[in-house]
Amino acid sequence: MSFTIPELCTSRLNRCELAVPGSSPKFFEKAAKSNADAIFLDLEDAVAPSDKEQARKNIIEALNDIDWGDKVMSVRINGLDTHYMYRDVIDIVEKGGERLDLIMIPKVGTASDIYALDMLVTQVETAIGRKKKIGFELIVETALGMQNIHEIAAASKRNESLHFGVADYAASTKARTTSIGGPNPLYGVLTDPAEDGSRDYHWGDMWHYAIARMVVAARANGLRAIDGPFGDFSDPDGYRAHGNRAAILGCEGKWAIHPSQIDLANEIFTPDEKEVAKARRILEAMEKAQAEGAGAVALDGGLIDIASIKQAEALVKQADIIAA
């Protein structure tokens, strides 16, 4: 291990993060009763400029009046390049009450963006004597943000998670797609001809680099990595495939932009019972091995060693948080 150990952020269950437009209060009660672990009430791209002010009022009222149970509550503010942002922060933090857990910051580009918001939020929190410190979730969805992701992830003690905003990221990098997430058939590999001359074409995952980079930046700074939206809500198999890839790389959750995606996200990001049982067996076997002075042992015909303990512990910890 390095002498530097990343400090872990506040632990929260974040398998499904449901997006709800602040301009559509008719969806609020249903969202509160849903199975989503976290909800973000949106002031940004799902809200038309003419609705921004009303959406802010709706969100403040909802944070104060609706019973959100034990959900993690977040508000997505507008970007730092807009004149809506300062009013979003001031009004939401001043009047949103203690029920607000997080602020979601879109299109983060530099560490200074986070510094500026930390300063503003700190001032408002101090002025109103807020008891609980608000955390930040950061959407990395521009080429600039992806370039500076490591500094961004380390920019504030309020940071809790990095989110991959695939739609804006595609726009910013001029990626050749018009869908929100999912693969593109043109991004593939044609194998060399086999002996009989036949060739295979394999689709690739054009988002692999971005998600893997985000996971590294998040974990190196003790944060959660969360995969963003999958636009085609009539394609549960596509959502599952995309979510599984993100989960396998280390993401802890994914957005739902439609209620039909909530249970899918929960299923994908809840560790499989068999995997958890195996992880518990690894921990037992390693405990026994260590008591006997061994650093590595065989289990089910494979080698396990001290690194296996850490892998197993991460899985068991996540299963225990879900079960709690």
String marking each residue 132-171 x if it binds Mg ion according to CB under 5 A: ---------x-----------------------x--x---
String marking each residue 70-109 x if it binds ligand GLV according to CB under 6 A: ------------------------------------x---
Q: Which is nearer to ligand GLV, 183 or 304 (CB)?
A: 183
Size of the site for Mg ion (CB under 5 A): 3
Secondary structure class of 176 (helix, strand, coil): coil
Q: Please, what is the minimum distance in Å from the beta carbon of residue 290 to ligand GLV? A: 45
Q: Which is nearer to ligand GLV, 177 or 270 (CB)?
A: 177
Q: Which two tokens stand for residue 228?
A: 């963003």
Q: How far apart are CA 141 and CA 139, in angstroms?
A: 6
Three-state SS sequence of 225-247 = EEECCCCCCCCHHHHHHHHHHHH
Q: Which two tokens stand for residue 124?
A: 């408002």
Pick one of 88, 91, 137, 141: the residue that binds ligand GLV (CB under 6 A): 141
Alpha carbon 290 to its chain's center: 36
Q: Does 252 bind Mg ion (CB under 5 A)?
A: no
- Interface positions, 218-247, toward ligand GLV (CB under 6 A): 228-229
Tell me the β-bridge partners of 138: 105, 162
Q: Which two tokens stand for residue 57?
A: 């009022």
Tell me the β-bridge partners of 256: 18
Residue 316 binding result from Mg ion, ligand GLV, none, given CB thresholds of 5 to 8 Å by partner type: none
Q: Please, what is the minimum distance in Å from the beta carbon of residue 182 to ligand GLV? A: 12
Decide if 219 contacts 162 (C-beta within 8 A): no
Q: Which is nearer to ligand GLV, 79 or 96 (CB)?
A: 79
Pick one of 25, 79, 109, 165: the residue that binds ligand GLV (CB under 6 A): 165
Secondary structure class of 180 (helix, strand, coil): coil
Which residues, at least 6 apart from 249, have a Cβ–Cβ distance to it below 8 Å? 208, 211, 212, 215
Which residues, at least 6 apart from 128, have a Cβ–Cβ distance to it below 8 Å? 93, 94
Of the listed pieces 86-94, 164-172, 186-194, 316-324, which binds ligand GLV according to CB under 6 A? 164-172
Neighbours of 60 (CB within 10 A): 20
**Checking phi first, is residue 203 left (phi over 0); if not, alpha (psi -120 to 50) or beta?**
beta
Pick one of 55, 166, 247, 268: the residue that binds ligand GLV (CB under 6 A): 166
Q: Does 168 bind ligand GLV (CB under 6 A)?
A: yes
Q: Please, what is the minimum distance in Å from the beta carbon of residue 122 to Mg ion? A: 26
Q: Residue 75: in which H helix or E strand, if any?
A: strand 72-76
Size of the site for ligand GLV (CB under 6 A): 9
Residue 229 binding result from ligand GLV, Mg ion, none, given CB thresholds of 5 to 8 Å by partner type: ligand GLV
- Interface positions, 17-46, toward ligand GLV (CB under 6 A): none
Secondary structure class of 116 (helix, strand, coil): helix
Of the listed pieces 148-156, 162-170, 286-294, 296-304, which binds ligand GLV according to CB under 6 A? 162-170
Q: Which is nearer to Mg ion, 66 or 144 (CB)?
A: 144
Q: Please, what is the minimum distance in Å from the beta carbon of residue 12 to ligand GLV? A: 20
- Give the pairing of strands 159-164 and 38-42: unpaired
- Give the pairing of strands 16-21 and 302-304: unpaired
Q: Please, what is the minimum distance in Å from the beta carbon of residue 253 to ligand GLV? A: 14
Q: Residue 147: in which H helix or E strand, if any?
A: helix 143-147
Q: Which residues bind ligand GLV (CB under 6 A)?
A: 106, 139, 141, 165-168, 228-229
Q: Which residues bind Mg ion (CB under 5 A)?
A: 141, 165, 168
